[in-house]
Amino acid sequence: MGVIDVLLLIAYSMSLICALLLIAALFLYFRRRLRAKAVSLFMVAAFFFLSAYTVQMAIALWIRFTAVPGAGAVLASLQTEALAVAQTGTTIGLLILTLLVFTKRQDLFIVLQEGKKGGASHADPDTNQK
């Protein structure tokens, strides 16, 4: 195993750990937002992208750890197909995020349930309204 392989393993591992930590933080965000009955569309797209990226990093680690001489053609084909699916998900997530950013739609919310009749509910429960 060369220096480049070791550096790639370290980089993939760090990326995977950071992505998992971010997914955990986003899970807490979504739990709070679901209680408020409104979720940011931008955050849903970011969560989709991050999830696809995490799968991609896991597959990259899988490929690096199993990259031994004489590996089976079936395993190599399976790894290539899995990486293609993960890359497609990552690309779709990036396209959605790019579209939301350039159309200035980062503040769109999906309202899961209407509030009480006669009063408008605010999408962000943490704001200090006066």
Nearest to 122 by CA among 17, 38, 28, 49: 38
> What is the pLDDT confidence band of residue 123, given thresholds at 50, 70 and 90?
low
pLDDT in tens, 75-102: 777 777 888 888 888 888 888 888 888 8
Using CA atoms, how far apart are residues 63 and 52, in angstroms rounded to an integer?
16
pLDDT for the residue numbered 34: 83
pLDDT for the residue numbered 48: 87
Which residue type sits at 95?
L
Residue 108 near residue 40, CB atoms below 8 Å: yes
Nearest to 110 by CA among 94, 128, 123: 123
Task: List, as one string, the DSSP characters of 10-52.
Answer: HHHHHHHHHHHHHHHHHHHHHHHHHHTTEEEHHHHHHHHHHHH
pLDDT in tens, 1-38: 677 777 877 888 888 888 888 888 888 888 888 888 88
Instruction: Classify residue 129 by its DSSP letter.
Output: -
The residues spanned by each domain of the chain are 1-37, 40-116
pLDDT for the residue numbered 130: 44
